[in-house]
Every structure is written in structure tokens, then in C-alpha cells.
Amino acid sequence: MAMQNNGYPFNNEIVVEIDGKQHKNWKSYDIDSDFLIPADAFSFNVGVPSDKTVLEDYSGKTAKVLINGELVLTGIVDTTQHSISKMDRTFSLNGRDKASILVDCSAPITNVKGLMVLDAIKKIVEPLGIKKVELRAESNPTLDKVDIDIGETAWNALIHCANSAGLHAWFDPAGTLIVGGADYSTPPVATLCCMKDGKRNNFTQASLTTDVSQSFSEITFLAQRHGRSGDDNKNDLKWVFKDDAIETYKPKTVIVPDVENLEALKKWAKKYITDSILNSFTLTITVPDHKTQDGVLWTPGQRVHVICEEYDIDAIFFLMGRRFMLSRTGGTTTELRLKEDGIWTPDAYAKKSEKARKRKGKKAKRPSASIYEGT
């Protein structure tokens, strides 16, 4: 497709800082960040001068990744590799952000019942060295019942707590653990266009995926709370969701753990259904450079206006993930993973997400309102 590319060369400075020393001039790199993928990954490769015979082992070290002086990731180097051959000498390092500690390690054996979500998550992560935790949501509800199994990873345990309140968790570039959801009131940072006449085109590649494999005409959610004295015949909890938009009869039964009442069951079911809706639509766009036309680095959580004639799209989308890349064949590019606006974590800022869902635009499938109203 024809594309305007007036910003080349992009003149980005990519720095990896380890033990106070800065490393630059990479041959290739891959820096990923996505709300739906725990432990954002990074990979860097550099050619090694012939007079540099011994290279340091950086595995296990804390690394900061900066682009044009702006911090984009704080993580830990998992592996380093020094390769030599007749034709080449290369050095590479690979790692993940601080979520890697929680993904790799087991959660401490603890009880979080009766704690507010933020306090419960702090109780899980602080023994593992994660001291900075921040709430980004309208409320900080109290947990009813969340079981942490022996050997369960700390990440799964904290996500269990966050999801029970309709929230999610991720690490910001500075290494702070964020518990919350999307703010759909922020204005779009850019407009991406692909027109048949080529006059406004500003991205190089796009892929639109719709998937109904995990969409069902009827979902029955079942749970059972612990029995109590004088509470016989009230232990079984059930809630049924029906989606008339699914033409084929596709029933599904889901067993829900750790709920104490019907309202808790509905909240759990709402998260399950919205995740299914979220996964049914993915728009992936590859753009040159790592910045918008206004010079802002692409960051998950941004909102983007997309116009694409071939897809019949003219709407605002939510940037779920982005991937900065440099390669010999592809040059400097950014992959943007976009989802429908207002769908992810609707309980974090309920009114803002509702407004985003109701905004007019082409190619904007809308789920049943009863999901979001909790009926």
C-alpha cells in the first residue's frame, strides 16, 4: 500500500542501562508491552568488535530500557548469549519486566479474605520484593473469598484477586505494580489511515481478526459456597447468560470457584463474558517509527482513531499492546494491537467505559447491555 513516510530517518536513541552503564547501537531489538501478557519481554542484539574479547554476564541484573530519554521498561535480564563464528561475533540479552518475579515464584501461603483488593495484593507481592503498588480504579472493594492454593504462582494469585473485583494488573515502565483498568476518557493520540487513493495513508500493514470460537449462545455459571448452620438448600448458586447474537445453539457450563453470593457470581461471570468479547476482535497495525506524528511514544492504554476503507472502519480503538522492533529487513517499526473501545475492565471506571461503548463508529460490534448492567 502507498504510505507517507516523511519522518525517515527516525533518529531514535535506544538505551539499555545496567549497573549505571548505558549500552547503545543495537543491531536489532524487540521490546514488547501488552496488558494481556504478563511479564513484558525485551530482546537486544549487537555486533561485537574483534578487540572486545571478554563480555560481562548481565543475567540477573536489573535493566532499564529508555527511548529518546523516556523510560519504557524496567526489568530483569534473564539470559545473555555470546556467539562467535568465522563470519560474525554477536552478543544478545533477553529479559522481562518485574512481573517475571511474580510469574516465576510461588505465592506466599496467606489469607486475604476480608481485605480490600489493594491490601490483599500487597500482602501477596511484598514478600517477593514488590513494594510499589498503586490502584487505578474508582473503588477498592473488599474481597469475600479468594483461595490461594499451595504452589500457585504469585501472579495467578494476584490476578485472581484483581479479577474478582473486575480489575486487572500490570507493571508500569518504572516498575510499579498497577491494579485497575482502562481510562476511556483520554483523547486519541493519533489517527491512522489507509485509504484506497493513498493520500492519507500512514501505516504499512494491517490485519483484522474476528473469532467466535469462544462465543456461546448460552452460558450457565455455577458455584457453591460453603454451607452454614441453618443455611441448607441455599448453597447452590446459578446464573445464566444468553446471547441472541449467536445464531448457532452453543451452550456452555462454567464452574466458578470462590464466590460467597449471587452478586459475586455475577461479577465473576461479567468478567468472563467481557473477556470473551474482547478476544473476538483484534486489529493489528504496523506503523513506521516508535512515535506518533506528534512525537509521543506508543504506549498500551492509549486510544487511537483508525480509518480503513477496506475494513469499513472509522472508529476509536483501545491500544492493548505494542511492540517496538528494529531489524535489518524491516527497519524501525511498531506493531500495535488494538481492541474495541470500552470493553476491557468496564468496572474500573464504569461511566467512562459505558460512554466509550456507546460512541458511534463503523465496525463497532456491541455486546448485550445486560452484561455491563449486571442483570
Q: What value does the mean pLDDT of the chain take?
A: 89
Pair 344, 338: CB distance under 8 Å: no
Report the candidate in 56, 44, 53, 52 with the shortest Cα–Cα distance to residue 92: 44
234 and 138 housed in the same domain: no
328 and 354 housed in the same domain: yes
235 and 322 housed in the same domain: no
Pair 249, 224: CB distance under 8 Å: no
Is 61 within the bounds of a domain?
Answer: no
Q: What pLDDT shows up at residue 260?
A: 81
155 and 251 housed in the same domain: no
**Over residues 46-54, mean pLDDT:** 71
250 and 314 housed in the same domain: no
Confidence of residue 368 (pLDDT cuts 50, 70, 90): very low
Confidence of residue 6 (pLDDT cuts 50, 70, 90): very low
Query: What residue has cell string 511479564?
Result: 39
Local structure of residue 264 (DSSP, 8 states): H
Condensed to tens digits (0 to 9), the pLDDT of residues 281-304 reads: 999 999 999 999 999 999 999 999
CATH of the domain at 123: 3.55.50.10
Confidence of residue 227 (pLDDT cuts 50, 70, 90): low
> Burial level of 342, CB count in 10 A (0-12/13-18/19+)?
buried
Q: What pLDDT shows up at residue 84?
A: 86
**Cα torsion for 365, 279, 312, 217, to the nearest 10°?**
-40
**Over residues 240-252, mean pLDDT:** 93
The strand pair at 303-308 and 190-194 is best described as: parallel
Pair 189, 302: CB distance under 8 Å: yes
347 and 300 housed in the same domain: yes
Q: Among the listed ranges 3-7, 75-79, 82-86, 144-148, which one has the minimum average pLDDT value?
A: 3-7
Is 42 within the bounds of a domain?
Answer: no
Confidence of residue 366 (pLDDT cuts 50, 70, 90): very low
286 and 176 housed in the same domain: no
pLDDT for 228 beyond 70: no
Reported pTM: 0.90
pLDDT for 231 beyond 70: no
Confidence of residue 375 (pLDDT cuts 50, 70, 90): very low
pLDDT for 89 beyond 90: no
State phi, psi for 306 to the nearest 5 degrees. Answer: -120, 130
Question: 229 lies in which domain range?
Answer: 218-266
Cβ neighbours of residue 165 under 8 Å, at least 6 residues apart?
A: 117, 137, 139, 141, 143, 267, 347
How many distinct structural domains can be found in the chain?
A: 3
Confidence of residue 229 (pLDDT cuts 50, 70, 90): very low
CATH of the domain at 313: 2.30.300.10
CATH of the domain at 222: 3.30.1920
**Over residues 62-89, mean pLDDT:** 94
Distance of alpha carbon 78 from alpha carbon 98, whole angstroms? 11
Check residues 174 and 359 and name the one with the higher pLDDT.
174
As given in the structure block, the three cell numbers for residue 249 are 445453539
Q: What pLDDT shows up at residue 320?
A: 98
285 — alpha (psi -120 to 50), left (phi > 0) or beta?
Answer: beta
Q: What pLDDT shows up at residue 180?
A: 96
**Over residues 353-368, mean pLDDT:** 69
Q: What pLDDT shows up at residue 374?
A: 45
201 and 293 housed in the same domain: yes
As given in the structure block, the three cell numbers for residue 28 are 536489532
